[in-house]
Structure 1
Amino acid sequence: MSTTELKKSSKLELLKLSNPATRTFWITSIAFFLCFFAWFGIVPFMPDVVRDLGLTPDQKWNSIILAVSGTVFARLLIGKLTDKYGPRLCYTWLLVLGAIPVIAIGFVQTPLQFLICRLFIGFIGASFVITQVHTSIMFSPSIVGTANATSAGWGNLGGGANRLGMPIIAAAVVSFGIADQADAWRYSMIIAGVICFAMGLVYYFFTQDTLNGNFKELRAKGEFPNTKKDQVGFLEVLKDYRVWILFVVYAGCFGIELTVYGTMDDYLQNTFQLERATAGNIVLSFALMNIFARTLGGFFGDRFGKKFGLRGRVLFLAAILAVEGLMLASFSSMSALYVAIGFLVAFSLSVQMAEGATFSVVPFINKKAIGSISGIVGAGGNVGAFFAAILLKSKSAFAEKAAIAANEGLSAEAIEAAQSAASSAAVSSGYFIIGALIVAISLISLAIKFNTEQETEEDEIREPKLALADK
């Protein structure tokens, strides 16, 4: 069977839509944005959901944990499926099927139904894996870190844009007389689900798996570069220690971003006595840094790779992880608001750069199993979010219960103030612990090594002799 090397674009030309690589970049970024928008779409409405469904504090925390837990399994599965069937079909089905629980949450009547829907909505978080695989296939090693980081960063914006977009959708629903204010959150989620479904159709009809064509057609013509004898088994991927180091690394950056994003509103209110709207705007600004911060991580990963080889990519990753951990630990001990915001901005910048730097390394671990590796590493992010959320929940719940017991008999206002202070101290301690763990992870990441053949291939890429397709 003859095989053909996949053509790849060596430039990220954002306005050249006639180029299938550019067109795919935009569509996959928008699809990822919509998935994140729907995944966290319920967050701005949580006070309404709590009142409507009568959620207890434990059920509210459990819904946060379930939302990131479902993604772990979905990312592990989707990576292998993408290697086999291609990103085009996998993204199409993920969007179409993932729209179902997003729409269904608009019809829930009990806390249990709500929790089940949040679990299954988390599956669309696997969109990240397909996005990274598709850009890795489309762009050459010299630019792949920047392309991966930019598509992922712009997609991640959906997790912040919903704080503005979802209330706007809800206001439109109310103003057009479709529903009253109490039910507006339900219609907003239904609309988000319908948009995801429509995006699945767009992905099917307007993208292709590679610059050479789709996986199915290439296999039929015997031109697919990964023939059966060349394919890497999933077990072989699992045995590669570097994959698991990157799993832990991504747990320490993306996982922590998710957790901090989900807990920062309450922390800022409890610690600095901010209004909910003010705290929310600060967190929104943090999320919007994905416009450029994650791209910077991929860009510098590529730059260090060009100058120092694959080892340079790892060194930059370790350095930016260390900065991330130090910034979070420092932020946790700040009592002055403006100083704290400065450290929060530095943490936001470094954590998102670390995510971009991670996926400037991933495509070079094993080029025959990018999907499987991306799935495992991507799942690491959600595992990190899960354990970080468990840590903060356990510390906060214990401290709040102790504060309530210690102030029993006092006024409701005094008990609430003591509860807020206890929660603030507990979460602050949790942030410090997490920051210290991230610094430790940065040291562990230095253990990632590449063999001579891989380093030689990277050396050749740094030379201008490599012929790449851009037409």
Structure 2
Amino acid sequence: MSTLTTPQATKLNLKDFKSVPMRTFWITSIAFFTCFFAWFGIVPFMPDVVKDLGLTPSQKWNSIILAVTGTVFARLLIGKLCDKYGPRLCYTYLLVLGAIPVILIGFVQTPLQFLICRLFIGFIGASFVITQFHTSIMFAPNIVGTANATSAGWGNLGGGANRLGMPLIAAAVVSFGVADEIAWRYSMVIAGIICFTMGLVYYFFTKDTPQGNYKELKERGAMPVFKKDEVSFLSTLKDYRVWILFLVYAASFGMELTVYGTMDDYLQNRFGLERSTAGNLVLSFALMNIFARTLGGFFGDKFGKLKGLRGRVLFLACILAAEGVMLSVFSLTTSLAIGIFFLVAFSITVQMAEGATFSVVPFINKKAIGSISGIVGAGGNVGAFLAALLLKTKSATAESAAIESSKTLGEEAVKTAQTVAASGAVSSGYFLIGGFVVAAALLSLTIKFVTVDEKKNAILNPKTNLTIADK
């Protein structure tokens, strides 16, 4: 079996649009951005959707939970498919098929139809796994953490950019004579068409590896070494380190998703902000992905050079612990200025923790990068699901009690009591989540690498741009 002859990229040259690794980096980043944009595209329109479809508060919460639930199963599956069929075909099919529920949500007429579409739209969240798998193949160990974090961060940016982009699309639609109250439907159809188009771009302009596509390499008997002696999915499941990283990603990306999805209402209830102001603050939180996640991967690589694979784990544990502390402290603040400070600190640390996680993932088992990325990626959505369920339960219980105790005092008093109760419930929920994050940070310290793995990954072969482990 042939070894790699075309080198992986050893640096992230953002001005390079011609080499296979960098062209893939740009296309996969844009594809991931597109998926996130569509995945959370409905969020800015939720007040219109609630009014149009008559959603109850419970149905609104369920839609948030379903949006991340579908992604869990898709991420678990897509990683193994990447190992077998390559990232190019997997991303193409995910974008093309994922466009269908995005388009269909523009035609729903009942709450049930809306919930079903949100469930299936969540499948395109599996794009993260393919993105991380593809960049892991294209970049050498000395830069893979930075490349993974940057592509993922710029993709996550789509989850914030939709707060600007979707209203702009809606405004353009309205300018053609469409009524304001149904502009969200046309906007989602347009987002779906963009996803479909991006699928075609991925098929025609990317390659599975720096040497070519899986099919061509198999025909030439030149599959790259990371496919040799392919490990079973069962053996991957037995590796305790995979499940620790599953929890770590639940404590980082999962918490980002949950906080991102609940922060608008919390800022309004806790600090009395206007909806537009709260929305802009949450938008700025999401936009930090453009640099914060990259920093996590960058420092993961730096610590890897200084302390080997153990250094990557140590940095991950430290930044994850900082994330948990920032969220817990934020949950206790009643001052807007202090609260914003700790919210920004949480935003930076949670996104750095995500980048640091995937500076470790490629080194767990290089023969099963796809499967491991899928399992770890699914952890983020499991974390988001459980955290959202916790906040929903605490909020619903507190609000019901507040309404019952103040129902004789008038409508305004009931509304005020409900707002205070919701704020307090979410605040206590954030505090508990912060504690879970710190516990996950401590658990991550148990990740170990055998001495031979440390040595193999420490040396970069200057002739092939590959580590000794890849030869």
After TM superposition, the score normalised by the length of structure 1 is 0.97
Secondary structure at 1:409 match in 2: coil
The Cα offsets for residues 280-331 of structure 1, whole Å up to 9 and x where unpaired, read as 0000000000010000000000000001000000000000000000000000
1:60 aligns with 2:60: yes
Cross-structure match for 2:449: 450
- Separation of aligned partners in 1, 2:6 and 2:426: 49
Cross-structure match for 1:235: 234
| Residues 293 and 349, structure 1, Cα contact 8 Å, conserved in 2 | yes
1:191 aligns with 2:178: no
**Which stretches of structure 1, 4 residues or more, deviate above 2 A after TM superposition?**
1-7, 225-229, 464-467
Query: CA distance change for structure 1 residues 359 and 30 in 2, over 3 Å: closer, same or farther?
Result: same
Paired residue type of 2:464: A
| Residues 3 and 222, structure 1, Cα contact 8 Å, conserved in 2 | no
Cross-structure match for 2:340: 341
1:448, CA displacement in angstroms? 0.3
1:279 aligns with 2:274: no
Query: CA distance change for structure 1 residues 220 and 136 in 2, over 3 Å: closer, same or farther?
Result: same
Cross-structure match for 2:268: 269
- Separation of aligned partners in 1, 2:456 and 2:227: 23
Counting only pairs closer than 5 Å after superposition, residues 398-413 of structure 1 correspond to structure 2 as 398-413=397-412
Paired residue type of 2:14: L
1:104, CA displacement in angstroms? 0.2
Unaligned residue ranges in structure 2 (runs of 5+): 467-471
Unaligned residue ranges in structure 1 (runs of 5+): none
Secondary structure at 2:10 match in 1: coil
| Residues 362 and 370, structure 1, Cα contact 8 Å, conserved in 2 | yes
| Residues 7 and 464, structure 2, Cα contact 8 Å, conserved in 1 | no
| Residues 304 and 311, structure 2, Cα contact 8 Å, conserved in 1 | yes
1:377, CA displacement in angstroms? 0.1
- Separation of aligned partners in 2, 1:2 and 1:283: 49
Cross-structure match for 1:207: 206
| Residues 6 and 225, structure 1, Cα contact 8 Å, conserved in 2 | no
- Separation of aligned partners in 1, 2:224 and 2:198: 29
After TM superposition, the score normalised by the length of structure 2 is 0.97
Cross-structure match for 2:295: 296
Counting only pairs closer than 5 Å after superposition, residues 173-188 of structure 1 correspond to structure 2 as 173-177=173-177, 179-188=178-187
| Residues 295 and 352, structure 2, Cα contact 8 Å, conserved in 1 | yes
| Residues 460 and 466, structure 1, Cα contact 8 Å, conserved in 2 | no
With 224-233 and 117-126 compared, the bigger mean Cα shift is at 224-233
1:466, CA displacement in angstroms? 5.6
Paired residue type of 1:168: L
Query: CA distance change for structure 1 residues 6 and 386 in 2, over 3 Å: closer, same or farther?
Result: farther
Query: Would you say how many aligned residue pairs link Structure 1 and Structure 2?
Result: 466
- Separation of aligned partners in 2, 1:343 and 1:427: 16
Cross-structure match for 2:168: 168
Counting only pairs closer than 5 Å after superposition, residues 3-402 of structure 1 correspond to structure 2 as 3-4=3-4, 7-177=7-177, 179-226=178-225, 230-402=229-401
1:467, CA displacement in angstroms? 3.1
What is the aligned counterpart of 2:465 among 460, 468, 471? 468
1:225, CA displacement in angstroms? 2.6
The Cα offsets for residues 104-135 of structure 1, whole Å up to 9 and x where unpaired, read as 00000000000000000000000000000000
Query: CA distance change for structure 1 residues 227 and 288 in 2, over 3 Å: closer, same or farther?
Result: closer
- Separation of aligned partners in 1, 2:342 and 2:463: 43
1:7, CA displacement in angstroms? 3.0
CA RMSD after TM alignment: 1.2
Secondary structure at 1:360 match in 2: coil
Secondary structure at 1:447 match in 2: coil
